[in-house]
Amino acid sequence: MKLIIIGAGPGGYETAVEAARRGIEVVLISDGPLGGTCLNEGCIPTKTLLHAAEQLPEGETPADAALATAQKHKRAVVEQLRGGIALLLGNKLITLVEGHASFAGPHCVTVPGPEGERRFEGDAILVAVGSVSASLPIPGADLPGVLSSREILELERVPRSLCIIGGGVIGLEFASLYRSFGAEVTVLEYAPSLLPRFDTDLSKRLRQALVRRGIAVETSARVEAIDGGDAFSVRFSDKSCAERSVAAECVLMAVGRRAALSSLNFEAIGIECSPRGVVVDDNFETSVPGVYAVGDVTGRMMLAHEASAQGLRALNHICLCADGGSGVPDDGLDFSIIPAAVFTTPELACVGLSEEDCKASGQEFRALKAFYRANGKAMSMDAGDGYCKVLADPVSGRILGAHILGAHASDLIHEAAALMQFGVDAKRAGSLIHAHPTLSEVLQAALRSF
Ligand code: NAD
């Protein structure tokens, strides 16, 4: 069997490695560097800079030297990890092709090259081409110096003032990061609360924590124009419809990402797309049998780990069909239980339903709460500003969702995800003995209150 994979981000390269491990011949085509957005201009560079920022004393003057050092370290980390991926792809069953692929038929893609067009045919094709930054159709949005998340990752000097348009995941991670490096930061968010897709209780608490750190936040802010000059002036109308502006040396546009749908020639073979992305079923198969799409290009939650898991499901389905089977593979992957983390200071992490989700679907719930300030390890780390909330069915105790704001939330959330995945209810979960003193006792305390 031969599998063609387009895109070498986590959705593409991890599927390629696993397919080769199963004895499948793979052609992996990419027009960008190995690792995709996650490794080259997303998760890994951001977290490397964030780690450096967190070592600095809070609220000091702009730490230009520290940023320059962190940038050097970031480049080394990215290069090393890219080398690691190249090693993983060194399997003799994998052929790596550099270039831009587009569909020439349901089982065929072409890639232009210096020696003419190359054609590749496969039994199945997996599209994992990711997403691109979105912008706003407002005057000044394309002024030089209005930065995307890729560009702001490359700054060698801390901007004295930074205005961030969009209080979603990317906006808040950079707000937190550059505040730690000493910039004056303002976030303008269109929705009434930050992180509109997260549990409002937690996003409100995160807002308070960011404001305490000196980040200015405006919600219900409609950005109307960006004026250039010696410094930018970002004009917006606030929640009382008053016209206001923020002056800033740098502006970051962080109003979302959109699926990279153009230039693959989807229409030529009739792959159905919605305005959000490629339409797929539970196996991540598109409207064209044998053609799959995973990750950001589907326009679902844009998370690296979700893309990898989707790639695995698609591969499992390809293998099932090759063995004469059909339906959804019995692979244990549960796409309703996907942890998500926002790497602000403090961190926010969640899995499953929010209070708003429960209310919208009529699901009864009990909110089980615990605070970091009652946890010995948190206090010893000077990290008493934190909160954990587990939502459980009031009768059965089934865990519906978990939300953590505080130090190491992104690590702690996986215990809640495991409990949900394996169907352990809140009462039984509370009896699990946790080591003392650890932050994991915060989750235990919440569960024990059932
Ligand atoms: P997002 O959808 O999380 O946030 C965009 C924000 O911009 C929203 O809050 C939205 O209300 C706001 N917005 C939209 N129009 C606006 C306007 N005119 N004025 C002001 N605000 C406006 O998108 P993002 O932060 O750009 O991130 C893109 C994707 O990448 C998301 O799916 C995110 O989950 C993913 N991502 C994940 C991580 C992580 O897992 N830690 C990190 C970075 C990005």
User: Which atom of ligand 1 is nearest the CA belonging to 304?
Assistant: 40
Does 220 score more than 70 pLDDT?
A: yes
230-289 per-position pLDDT tens digit? 899 999 999 999 999 999 999 999 999 999 998 899 988 999 999 999 999 999 999 999
Percent of the chain clearing pLDDT 70 (strictly above): 99
Which residue's CA is the closest to the ligand 1 atom numbered 41? 342
Q: 190, 244, 344: which to mutate for ligand 1, most atoms within 8 A of CB?
A: 190
Distance (Å) from CA 175 to ligand 1 centroid: 13
pLDDT band of residue 84 (cuts 50, 70, 90) is very high
Q: What is the mean pLDDT of the chain?
A: 96
Which stretches of 22-63 are DSSP H helices? 36-41, 43-54
pLDDT at position 60:
67
pLDDT at position 312:
98
Residues near 143 by beta carbon (within 8 Å), at least 6 away in sequence? 226, 228, 232
**pTM for this one?**
0.96
Q: Right CATH number for 2-34+89-132+258-322 from 3.30.70.20, 3.60.20.10, 3.50.50.60, 3.30.1490.20?
A: 3.50.50.60
Task: Indicate if 436 belongs to the active site.
Answer: yes
> For ligand 1, is residue 136 a contact (CB within 6 Å)?
yes
Catalytic one among 100, 107, 408, 436?
A: 436
Instruction: Give the helix/strand (H/E) hosting 423.
Output: none
Residue 70 φ then ψ, to 5°: -65, -35
* Residues paired with residue 133 on neighbouring β-strands, in sequence order: 257
> For ligand 1, is residue 387 a contact (CB within 6 Å)?
no
Taking residues 404-428, report their average pLDDT. Answer: 98
391-400 per-position pLDDT tens digit? 999 999 999 9
What's domain 346-447's superfamily in CATH? Answer: FAD/NAD-linked reductase, C-terminal dimerisation domain (3.30.390.30)
DSSP annotation of 187: E
Cα separations in angstroms, 143 against 135, 154, 438: 12, 18, 48
Residue 339 φ then ψ, to 5°: -65, 145
Does 342 score more than 70 pLDDT?
A: yes
> For ligand 1, is residue 182 a contact (CB within 6 Å)?
no
Taking residues 39-49, report their average pLDDT. Answer: 97
Q: Regarding predicted confidence, which is higher, 58 or 255?
A: 255
Which residue's CA is the closest to the ligand 1 atom numbered 19? 190
pLDDT at position 268:
86
> For ligand 1, is residue 409 a contact (CB within 6 Å)?
no
pLDDT at position 230:
85
Taking residues 51-65, report their average pLDDT. Answer: 86
Domain ranges of the chain: 2-34+89-132+258-322, 146-256, 346-447
Does 59 score more than 90 pLDDT?
A: no
**Bridging pattern class, strands 25-30 and 2-6:** parallel
146-162 per-position pLDDT tens digit? 999 999 999 999 999 99
> For ligand 1, is residue 225 a contact (CB within 6 Å)?
no
Assign a CATH topology to domain 146-256: FAD/NAD(P)-binding domain (3.50.50)
Nearest to 195 by CA among 347, 362, 39: 347
Distance (Å) from CA 194 to ligand 1 centroid: 10
The two domains 2-34+89-132+258-322 and 146-256 share their CATH topology (first three levels equal): yes
- What 3-state class would DSSP assign to 94? strand
pLDDT at position 262:
83
124-146 per-position pLDDT tens digit? 999 999 999 999 999 999 999 89
